[in-house]
Amino acid sequence: MLNVGKIEEGYVLDHIEAGQSLELYKHLGLADMDCTVAMIQNAKSSKMGRKDILKVECGIEELNMDVLAVINHNITVNVVKDGEIVEKKELTLPKQIKNVFKCTNPRCITSIEQELPHIFILADEDKGIYRCKYCEEKVGKGDGSKKKNR
């Protein structure tokens, strides 16, 4: 594996779909966190063809695992402590997720009533699909393309 600096404590997020690391960066709020991030894009993968890897140096409790699970529950989450991978975390799909993703449907009530929380509910556990609580719009885009690499 390509090594872009070793991290002492934090996460190595592996098997991210190629192109998805920016989305993760945004939704995890990494820009606003006091942490070092290394983003590796389009790395070769025997399993996936191409993949992204995200290394985040931060406190173990600081990353929101629910956000990761909603975006892609197939991501491998390696927990790093004292420079070594000490654990692989299983991502479990939360039943709902609030105020992380915004509904993109312009006709959705959340785009009219600005005060409403953006809530997405787990609609399909097998596929990990989340839908807006109000209008059933899916979270994220391009779900169809995800299958191509697998």
Q: What gap in Å lies between CA 119 and CA 67, rounded to an integer?
A: 13
User: Smallest distance, Å, CB 139 to Zn ion?
Assistant: 10
Q: 52 pairs with which residues across the strands? A: 16
Question: How far lies 70's CA from each of 7, 76, 81, in Å?
Answer: 25, 13, 25
C-beta of 11 vs 130, nearer to Zn ion:
130
Q: What gap in Å lies between CA 28 and CA 101, rounded to an integer?
A: 10
Q: What gap in Å lies between CA 28 and CA 15, rounded to an integer?
A: 17
Tell me: does residue 22 bind Zn ion (CB under 5 A).
no
C-beta of 8 vs 124, nearer to Zn ion:
124
Indicate which single residue of 103, 120, 128, 130 sits in contact with Zn ion (rule: CB under 5 A): 103
Q: What gap in Å lies between CA 14 and CA 53, rounded to an integer?
A: 5
Indicate which single residue of 59, 125, 135, 143 sits in contact with Zn ion (rule: CB under 5 A): 135
Tell me: does residue 119 bind Zn ion (CB under 5 A).
no
Indicate which single residue of 77, 91, 132, 139 sits in contact with Zn ion (rule: CB under 5 A): 132
Residues that bind Zn ion (CB under 5 A): 103, 105, 108, 132, 134-135, 137
